[in-house]
Structure 1
């Protein structure tokens, strides 16, 4: 089951990257990174921007020059420049301290994850678009999976993988690049996993290999070592600074979407289908922090220097934070529109305490969870739910619409016009727009 789940995730990602951007819209933020002053950088797919949540709660968005770029992975270099992946555009972007964005095309493939070394050079994983189980050698040299590196002069270096494709990339405390590789099984066979070191001149060294394996989620540990998970073998491995590996079997049913290390070396993880955060302590004990189930699944993850755990959800654009006090806070991010404002403050970004909000909406949340399971929209007695199915599901799936949280649905429904045109669906009339906005604000708005 774990093998099937991981491969389905990988295949889905490959399919999304291989299709036009409008056909595969992003969900919540893919990744977070913290800067030196405590700001949290995050991706905004539908807003086509990389953005920063400041410690005071304000948000500043930096629009990308390429439309429908689908920003995903993020990394900061020593100069405070933000590097990011543009999945849909097939580029690596860099946001300078002056606010200027530079883009580097990644030909013959789709970038996935970016990391920055101690020199300030950006390394990134790249899928070829042929991740379908066919033999690695069947592709020409320029069109296979690889790891790329952009040096300080802006030159691109490509390091084709020895086999399979890269699933994660990270640097250890000695500034060595480590890569996990997935080698798909042929003719229905089981996949194979690899852990490899990669030198700056492109030399690969396989450090470990496993059968029925799909390793990923390389994460830096406070001692300079690394940790990674393997969904297929249901194993978590810690890689010590001296290269020794310590693997532990995880409890059945454990699924790790992303890993992040705390200051004490404990590991936090997302992916639980009950909306919870998971934690693995230094002894290897796995536990979950109880949180009201909302039908969503935790996704991106970051442990701040202060010890707060910041996370996103698949269908929720807002940013969630578990404070050291145990209090959950939700930063409401209006990703749909910013009304041309450079910064969003009171009203656009605010704080909502999970406990108070969900306690007051327990009955509504239970009903929504049932609607999500059934994929049915709430009837309003006027048939508006049928209008949703006719005019809105061409842009979003029903689960996403049922779980999405908006304080005002007007911008989101307006934005759907472009995607309806691409699908050849008749545009909404002013009356239909008002009707749908009223419907979503009433039944699926954040403030009810």
Structure 2
């Protein structure tokens, strides 16, 4: 495992089509960009904005949520935003956007934690909001599935849901005692989620079966990412570890070298390496 020093408060992480790395700095109200072999470049946002999750569109633009200031931000590459000036879309006051993902059409989807809505910004810039049929569910992370559906977690409702481009929303109770799902990732092996309060990693199979894989007490898994072999990588925010569940349910893990690293977001690079954002101010990489 190797690490790269970045600003303290690193939270979300994603990769651009050119192989560069984007990451949010929640504590410092910045978005970082790291070209291969270069030094981190930072783009400053409004103080206290708390940028959280970041996703990269096919055109290389980074999209991110600003949780505290109710905005969706964008930093373009090779266009009018090439100088690194963020552009922002303001949402309703108190929306609390958190999760964000890009679908195969290039549309940007996000969750509004406080309003029971999923938002969509189309390639033409049109903003649409879809109501979730569950009040107070605290929609959290969101991810694109291979079939085009967008899956999301309902942290306060022990449920996950999915929505299509037409706005049809379905909510699925997990049936797990004390569940509080946060991270979610969808792949050919199913939909995986992190149950931060139940210390579990879960998977929903194609037939709707929910499988749960137990972790150590206090692990508090936060983010997940499906790998090419059908397994799932995850961060243990409470356990100071990076973990993996294989397609057949074998759980393994890696202790982080520094105590109290607070691993949050993670992403898998094109070469199969797993990258993790550590709130202590580092990006960690595990070789494939």
> Are 1:88 and 2:54 an aligned pair?
no
> Are 1:312 and 2:283 an aligned pair?
no
Which residues of structure 1 form unaligned runs of 5+? 1-25, 129-143, 184-191, 325-448
Q: Which residue of 2 aligns with 1:167?
A: 140
> Residues of 1 paired with 2:131 and 2:67: CA distance?
19
Alpha-carbon offset, residue 180 of structure 1: 1.9
> Residues of 1 paired with 2:151 and 2:107: CA distance?
15
Q: Which residue of 1 aligns with 2:91?
A: 106
> Are 1:147 and 2:127 an aligned pair?
no
> Are 1:220 and 2:220 an aligned pair?
no
> Residues of 2 paired with 1:231 and 1:286: CA distance?
16
> Residues of 1 paired with 2:167 and 2:256: CA distance?
45
Q: Which residue of 1 aligns with 2:21?
A: 40
> Residues of 1 paired with 2:277 and 2:200: CA distance?
24
> Residues of 2 paired with 1:45 and 1:231: CA distance?
19
The runs of at least 4 aligned residues of structure 1 exceeding 6 Å deviation read: none
Alpha-carbon offset, residue 117 of structure 1: 1.4
Alpha-carbon offset, residue 107 of structure 1: 0.7
TM (normalized to structure 2)? Answer: 0.84
Q: Rg larger in 1 or in 2?
A: 1
> Residues of 2 paired with 1:308 and 1:114: CA distance?
22
Residues 83 and 293 of structure 1, relative CA distance in 2, 3 Å threshold: closer
> Residues of 2 paired with 1:320 and 1:161: CA distance?
35
Residues 107 and 68 of structure 1, relative CA distance in 2, 3 Å threshold: same
| Structure with the bigger percentage of strand | 2
Q: After superposition, give the CA deviation of every residue in 1:334-362 in whole Å (9 maximum; x if it has no partner).
A: xxxxxxxxxxxxxxxxxxxxxxxxxxxxx
Q: Which residue of 1 aligns with 2:44?
A: 63
* Residue among 41, 48, 57 paired with 1:77: 57
Alpha-carbon offset, residue 251 of structure 1: 3.8
Q: Which residue of 2 aligns with 1:176?
A: 149
> Residues of 2 paired with 1:294 and 1:247: CA distance?
31
> Residues of 2 paired with 1:149 and 1:194: CA distance?
21
Q: Is the 8 A contact 1:276 1:293 kept in 2?
A: no
Alpha-carbon offset, residue 291 of structure 1: 4.3
> Residues of 1 paired with 2:153 and 2:18: CA distance?
31
> Are 1:28 and 2:20 an aligned pair?
no
Calculate the aligned-residue CA RMSD, in Å: 2.4
Q: After superposition, give the CA deviation of every residue in 1:274-308 in whole Å (9 maximum; x if it has no partner).
A: 53322212221222224435233322212212122
By relative contact order (CA 8 Å, sep 6+), the higher-ranking structure is: 2
> Are 1:123 and 2:109 an aligned pair?
yes
TM (normalized to structure 1)? Answer: 0.56
> Residues of 2 paired with 1:61 and 1:85: CA distance?
16
Residues 232 and 255 of structure 1, relative CA distance in 2, 3 Å threshold: closer
Q: After superposition, give the CA deviation of every residue in 1:194-229 in whole Å (9 maximum; x if it has no partner).
A: 2222132332223344353322311133x2732113
Q: Is the 8 A contact 1:274 1:294 kept in 2?
A: no
| Structure with the bigger percentage of helix | 1
> Residues of 2 paired with 1:45 and 1:195: CA distance?
25
